[in-house]
Amino acid sequence: MKLAIVVLEGVQSLDVAGPMDVFTEANSFLPAGSQYEITLVGMHAGNIRCANGMQLHVDVGYLDHHEQPDLLLVAGGPKLPDVMTYPASFLEWLNAKAAGARRFGSVCNGAFPLGQAGLLNGKQVTTHWHDVDRLIARFPRARVRPDKIFLRDGSLFTSAGVTAGIDLCLALVTEDWGHEVALRIAKRLIVYIRRDGGQSQYSPFLAVGPKEETIVAKVLRYVTDHIGEQFSIEQLADAVAVSRRTFSRVFAKDASMTPSAFVEQVRVDFARKLLEETDLPLKTVAFRCGFHSANHMRVTFVRRLDTTPREYRRRFRAEETPEPPEDAAGAADAPTAPVVAGAEVAGL
């Protein structure tokens, strides 16, 4: 299988090395004649400098790359979103190779060159969370899903930053050769084969430092300490000692999401941790995380993660142990959490 990885000046070295290592390790498990043939394609052949200063040898320039790859990947780099235009011949080359490939896509903000070639139009895509706003602004016809690790839309695959490229390539190997081969690769590389495109790349816990005193940080600490409760906008504003109007304006600006969405994501992250690390029944998990019911938690998981809590536990829990039935001991102490009546409620 022919694989072409597009590498441009200032490329993120891990966006190249990660996918290359996945496919190279795959070759050690595959029969002769079925292995991945990897070619690095750039603007020209020869050495280029990665963002970290490392020199990388490019096999061939795009004008001299005449083979049709089965898989085409564009690696990301910190400066790619700043490049406003590429040579028309390069964009034509991208279009031609993508059209002939069985699959094509990007690692991190390698989505930007694909966007300039018109290959994101009408497609569900993702990129590193830091570049999401710019991707949306530059390519309004793309359907950007900012919180996903990777996405597939037809033959197009896009992924979030750096190590998400490894997740993506493990998924591609799984599609080609099955889960067992991908698992053996993950063990060789000492990475988890537990993340899939349904997991969020961004968590509120990454939004603030432990000692920050911003409104977002204060809300995070308050919600974390009272995770099983319901929250109105007034209650959150009071907790950080500002007016409701100031709270709504400043929070949305600093967190790039509404308080309701933020609280809901905190609940989901708490639930994910409990699902991975405990045998608690789903009703108990829902209650402890402030969902109104197990069904409310299920609906939220499907909307945010494209999977159910039960399926999430099966895929991502630390130990493969049978899940207790819903009427197991402990479920009885999980009443439906109360709703704050007459107020705008965050986390619904």
pLDDT one-digit tens code per residue, 126-141: 998 889 999 999 999 9
Identity at 148, one-letter amino acid code: K
* Rounded alpha-carbon distances, angstroms, from residue 272 to 46, 124, 152, 301: 46, 25, 23, 9
223 phi, psi to nearest 5 deg: -65, -40
**Which pLDDT tens digits describe the chain residue by residue (348 residues)?**
999 999 999 999 999 999 999 999 999 999 988 999 999 999 999 999 999 999 999 999 999 999 999 999 999 999 999 999 999 999 999 999 999 999 999 999 999 999 999 999 999 999 988 899 999 999 999 999 887 788 889 999 999 877 888 888 988 998 899 878 888 888 888 775 544 545 554 454 444 444 557 888 889 889 989 999 999 999 999 999 999 989 988 888 777 778 998 899 899 988 988 998 889 999 999 999 999 999 999 999 988 887 899 988 887 664 444 455 444 433 333 333 333 322 333 343
128 phi, psi to nearest 5 deg: -60, 140
CATH number of the domain located at residue range(s) 204-346 in this protein: 1.10.10.60
In whole angstroms, give the CA distance from residue 163 to residue 237: 37
214 phi, psi to nearest 5 deg: -70, 165
- 2-189 CATH fold: Rossmann fold (3.40.50)
By the 10 Å C-beta count (0-12 exposed, 13-18 middle, 19+ buried), 84 is classed as: exposed
Residue-level pLDDT at 67: 95
Identity at 29, one-letter amino acid code: F
Residue-level pLDDT at 124: 92
Residue-level pLDDT at 328: 40
In whole angstroms, give the CA distance from residue 91 to residue 93: 5
Return the structure tokens found at 156.
Answer: 């197009």
**Residues of each domain in the chain carrying CATH 3.40.50.880:** 2-189
In whole angstroms, give the CA distance from residue 34 to residue 47: 29
Identity at 206, one-letter amino acid code: L
Residue-level pLDDT at 193: 52
**Residues of each domain in the chain carrying CATH 1.10.10.60:** 204-346
Q: What is the pLDDT of residues 314-326, one digit of tens each?
A: 876 644 444 554 4
Least Cα distance to 162 among 193, 201, 211 occurs for 201
